[in-house]
């Protein structure tokens, strides 16, 4: 019997885009019964799939196809409008170029806040702190405010935190997008270890070569719908064919 | 959360919430005062500066201090409590919108954000209470057994302040000008509330309304306990019945219910709204 980590069944998510701005008290006070036309943007239109425990599961698709929305739903940051999702195990989410950071705080404080939010105890944070910093290679920068970090440095730090919390499922959204070659290699090394521990990895990326090499299965999204789920080489080949024929 | 089941996050983990509250409060404190130790000194000194000015104007110039012996203590209690209420709600108002980067990237019990915001002002409040205690001692007031009610009254004030903070923070996610609205409301409330003047200055009907506000009830109860007066104006005295104590408590309950309802309604969407 296969053990599921994630089971998603007919999940829908849309965002409301009001045509006129009505997000002020003044507007509501002056026009309390004014009806605003709202456009629904359907980011996900009834997606269903399951991910097995220990699987390295890739998600590809053009910009705006709903990949990040799906990861945020899995992480519990958004709630589905319809449908059910079951997640078995603790999650470590890395979405939108990293875990939640406050630009005005030092990198050190950001690690503490995020470590605690991701479920570490104070003691665990202290114990793992040096490791987190060393892996990110940011020893000299930890007292600086995060706003002085380059996007590459932020991703290194965020990734380093995400993989050192307690989890069974790792969600990675474009972790490779801004890192350098050396960081990418380190990334894959750690992912290999995580995988060998039997943990589940959900991997969103535009790096099709990496996907083909690493993933057990790949899912292709297009405009909020699943096009197909299958072996990496086949799914990627057809994906490349469509993007090329379109471009 | 509707539609999402996560075996690992079922039930409320109080130790987790406590840790998150701690790190987020420390972070908030640093954000507010990191670059200026003077900033913190000012937040502590601010009520005292107000006190000095208001005492000079109202106590001396308008001779409010002739009416009662312990006007300084009476006034300072009002200012310290008001400063706590206003500072906490003003900071709390930003607790979702100002932390949108956390809301958009991590799932955690959202309620810790307004709670953490209150910790910073709670610390300042504690320091101010010490200053208040010193002034009260200098003023020649001696502790009595009835002072034991004060912590309970402060707890009531804290709960009320937190309820208002949660309502404001949640509204702020939907209406970005709520800060301006609250700033104006705060100024009006300051003058409508018997902080610098005695309750007796208000017309009868206004006293009834004022005492529906838990802030006024707490303020007057604390004053009644600490500052001996000929006739302390508490909610029971003003309404002429002990049963009237239920009036501000009813307001408090309603505010808590509104806070809970509005927060529960919008909690799942805070990541999208901020
Ligand atoms: N918070 C939001 N508010 C409004 N629209 C959103 C929001 N998040 C995503 N969208 C929209 O949903 C669609 C899918 O976005 P996203 O999941 O980020 O795609 P991807 O990660 O695949 O590039 C896009 O059209 C995007 O504009
Ligand atoms: Mg994306």
User: Which residues neighbour A62 within 8 Å (Cβ) at sequence distance 6 or greater?
Assistant: A222, A243
pLDDT per residue over A167-190, tens digit each? Answer: 999 999 998 888 788 988 999 999
Q: Is residue A134 part of a domain?
A: yes
Residue of A nearest to B173 (CA): A23
Q: Is residue A121 part of a domain?
A: yes
Instruction: Tell me how far apart the alpha carbons of residues B263 and B273 are, in angstroms, rounded to a whole number.
Output: 13
Cβ–Cβ gap B101/A100 under 8 Å: yes
- Restricting to A residues 1-40, those with a Cβ less than 8 Å away from any Cβ of B are 11, 15, 23-26, 28
Q: Report chain B's mean pLDDT, rounded to a whole number.
A: 90
Q: Is residue A14 part of a domain?
A: no
Select from B257, B187, B254 the least CA-distant residue to B214. B254
pLDDT over threshold 60, residue A82: yes
Q: Is residue A99 part of a domain?
A: yes
Instruction: Report the pLDDT value the prediction gives residue A247, as an integer from 0 to 100.
Output: 46
A161 lies in which domain range?
A: 56-81+90-246
Q: Note the Cα B206 to chain centre separation in Å.
A: 22
Q: A93: how many CB neighbours lie within 10 A of its CB?
A: 27
Q: Where are the domains of chain B?
A: 2-273
Mutation test residue for ligand 1: of A14, A59, A66, the one with most atoms within 8 Å of CB? A66
Q: Is residue A13 part of a domain?
A: no
**Helices B178-192, B71-92: crossing angle, 10 deg rounding:** 170
**Range with lowest mean pLDDT among A67-71, B39-43, B152-156, B261-265:** B39-43
CB-based contact B143:B65 (threshold 8 Å): no
- Ligand 1, residue A63: give the atom nearest the CA: 23
pTM (predicted TM-score):
0.92
What total number of domains does chain A contain? Answer: 1
The H or E element spanning position A154 is helix A151-162
Q: Is residue A37 part of a domain?
A: no
Report the b/e string of A24-52 with b at 16+ CB within 10 A.
bbebeeeeeeeeeeeeeeebbeebebebe
pLDDT per residue over B54-102, tens digit each? Answer: 888 887 777 766 567 788 898 999 999 999 999 999 999 999 999 999 9
Instruction: Report the pLDDT value the prediction gives residue A179, as an integer from 0 to 100.
Output: 79
Q: How far apart are the first and last CA of chain A?
A: 43
pLDDT band at A245 (very low <50, low <70, confident <90, very high): low
CATH of residue A205: 3.40.50.300
Q: Is residue A11 part of a domain?
A: no
- Ligand 1, residue A67: give the atom nearest the CA: 22
The H or E element spanning position A242 is helix A232-246
**Range with lowest mean pLDDT among A1-5, A233-237, B16-20:** A1-5
**Range with lowest mean pLDDT among B1-10, B221-230, B232-241:** B1-10
């Amino acid at each position: 019997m296969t053990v599921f980590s994630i089971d998603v069944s007919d999940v829908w998510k849309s965002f409301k885009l009001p045509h006129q701005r009505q997000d002020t008290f003044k507007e509501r006070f002056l026009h309390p019964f004014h009806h605003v036309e709202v456009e629904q943007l359907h980011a996900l239109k009834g997606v269903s799939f399951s991910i097995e425990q220990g699987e390295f599961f890739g998600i590809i698709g053009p910009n705006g196809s709903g990949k990040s929305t799906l990861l945020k739903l899995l992480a519990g940051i958004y709630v589905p409008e319809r449908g059910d999702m079951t997640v078995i195990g603790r999650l470590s989410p890395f979405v939108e170029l990293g875990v939640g950071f406050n630009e005005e705080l030092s990198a050190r404080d950001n690690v503490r806040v995020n470590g605690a939010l991701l479920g570490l105890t104070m003691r665990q944070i202290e114990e793992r702190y040096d490791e987190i910093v060393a892996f990110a290679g940011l020893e000299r920068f930890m007292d600086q405010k995060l706003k002085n970090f380059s996007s590459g440095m932020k991703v290194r730090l965020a990734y380093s935190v995400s993989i050192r919390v307690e989890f069974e499922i790792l969600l990675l959204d474009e972790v490779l997008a801004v890192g350098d070659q050396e960081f990418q290699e380190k990334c894959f090394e750690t992912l290999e270890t995580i995988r060998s521990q039997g943990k589940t990895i959900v991997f969103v990326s535009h790096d099709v070569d990496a996907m083909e090499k690493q993933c057990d299965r790949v899912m292709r999204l297009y405009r909020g719908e699943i096009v197909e789920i299958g072996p990496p080489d086949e799914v990627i080949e057809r994906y490349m064919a469509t993007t090329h024929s379109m471009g | 959360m509707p539609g999402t089941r996560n075996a690992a996050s079922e039930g409320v983990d109080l130790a987790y919430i406590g840790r998150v509250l701690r790190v987020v409060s420390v972070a908030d404190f640093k954000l507010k005062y990191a670059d200026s130790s003077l900033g913190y000194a000012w937040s502590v000194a601010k009520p005292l500066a107000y006190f000095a000015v208001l005492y000079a104007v109202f106590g001396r110039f308008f001779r409010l201090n002739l009416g009662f012996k312990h006007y300084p203590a009476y006034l300072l209690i009002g200012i310290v409590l008001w400063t706590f209420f206003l500072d906490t709600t003003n900071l709390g108002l930003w607790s979702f919108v100002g932390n949108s980067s956390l809301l958009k990237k991590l799932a955690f019990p959202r309620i810790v954000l307004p709670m953490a915001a209150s910790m910073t002002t709670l610390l300042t409040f504690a320091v101010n209470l010490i200053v208040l205690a010193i002034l009260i001692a200098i003023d020649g007031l001696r502790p009595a057994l009835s002072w034991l009610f004060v912590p309970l009254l402060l707890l009531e004030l804290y709960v009320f302040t937190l309820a208002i903070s949660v309502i404001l923070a949640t509204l702020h996610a939907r209406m970005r000008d709520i800060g301006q609205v609250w700033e104006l409301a705060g100024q009006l409330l300051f003058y409508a509330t018997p902080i610098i003047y005695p309750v007796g200055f208000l017309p009868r009907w206004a006293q009834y309304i004022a005492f529906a506000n838990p802030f006024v009830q707490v303020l007057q109860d604390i004053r009644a306990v600490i500052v001996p007066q000929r006739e302390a104006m508490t909610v029971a005295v003003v309404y002429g019945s002990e049963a009237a104590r239920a009036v501000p408590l009813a307001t408090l309950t309603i505010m808590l219910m509104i806070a809970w309802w509005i927060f529960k309604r919008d909690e799942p969407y805070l990541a999208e709204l901020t």
